[in-house]
Structures are given as structure tokens and as C-alpha cells.
């Protein structure tokens, strides 16, 4: 099974296109080395995939016949992601400065500029 298909089937990326773009962009590594989207996935391989705010490490334990439900992912991969990574993601979710509390009305021009500045400072 191709790497991009495997990542999509196990719900690491929402679409196969996003999985392919992530692999081409160097965000996915197999055994610490960058690979191509057509790389054949084999059981026992360790795959590191960086999504928007999380770097997941997975060990291949099987190849699904097609896209599987979230509950079935554990049948095809072992999650080796350190707990600190999930804690860091939760911490980032708590600090969402771009969100406005309900009831404040429309943002002012100054507020809008701050939000746009914040969006562009992500990377």
C-alpha cells in the first residue's frame, strides 16, 4: 500500500491530497528519512507525520483494505507519539487569541488588524 493511501486510510490526514502534499513537503518521514508518496508501507516501519500542530509517530502493524473508522485505527498502527506532544497541542488550543468571546459584537478595525497579524505570524 502506498504511504499517502495509508496515511489517509488511518485518518492522519483528512484527504489523500493533503497526505501527498505533506509527504512532498518533507513533513512525513519513514525511519527518519524523507520518502515519496508512492513509498510502499510495510509492517514494522516507523512513520513520523507532522500535521498542523502535532507531530505524530506511528508504527505500522497492518494494512487496511480501505479507509477505516477512527475506532479501527488501533488495528493497523501503534501510536508512539509522546504524551508531551499531545499536552503541547492542548496548550496551544487553550491560547486561541483569535477567538472573541460571544456578545462583544463585531471586531473593530484595530481588532481585525490584530487578528490578521496573529494569523500571519504562525510560521
* pLDDT for position 85: 87
CATH second-level architecture of 3-81? Roll (3.10)
**Cα 93 to Cα 119: distance, rounded to the nearest angstrom:** 14
**Cα 57 to Cα 7: distance, rounded to the nearest angstrom:** 12
* pLDDT for position 60: 97
* pLDDT for position 13: 95
* pLDDT for position 41: 96
| Under-70 pLDDT residues of the chain | 93-100, 121-123
**Cα 45 to Cα 7: distance, rounded to the nearest angstrom:** 13
pTM of the full structure: 0.74
| Domain-wise residue ranges, the chain | 3-81, 83-123
Amino acid at each position: 500500500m502506498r504511504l499517502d493511501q495509508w496515511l489517509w486510510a488511518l485518518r492522519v490526514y483528512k484527504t489523500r491530497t493533503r497526505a501527498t502534499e505533506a509527504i512532498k513537503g518533507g513533513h512525513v518521514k519513514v525511519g527518519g528519512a524523507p520518502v515519496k508518496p508512492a513509498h510502499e508501507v510495510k509492517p514494522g516501519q516507523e512513520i513520523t507525520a507532522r500535521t498542523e500542530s502535532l507531530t505524530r509517530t506511528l508504527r505500522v502493524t497492518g494494512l487496511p483494505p480501505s479507509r477505516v473508522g477512527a475506532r479501527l485505527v488501533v488495528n493497523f498502527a501503534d501510536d508512539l507519539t509522546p504524551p508531551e506532544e499531545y499536552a503541547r497541542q492542548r496548550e496551544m488550543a487553550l491560547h486561541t487569541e483569535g477567538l472573541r468571546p460571544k456578545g462583544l459584537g463585531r471586531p473593530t478595525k484595530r481588532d481585525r488588524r490584530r487578528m490578521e497579524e496573529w494569523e500571519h505570524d504562525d510560521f
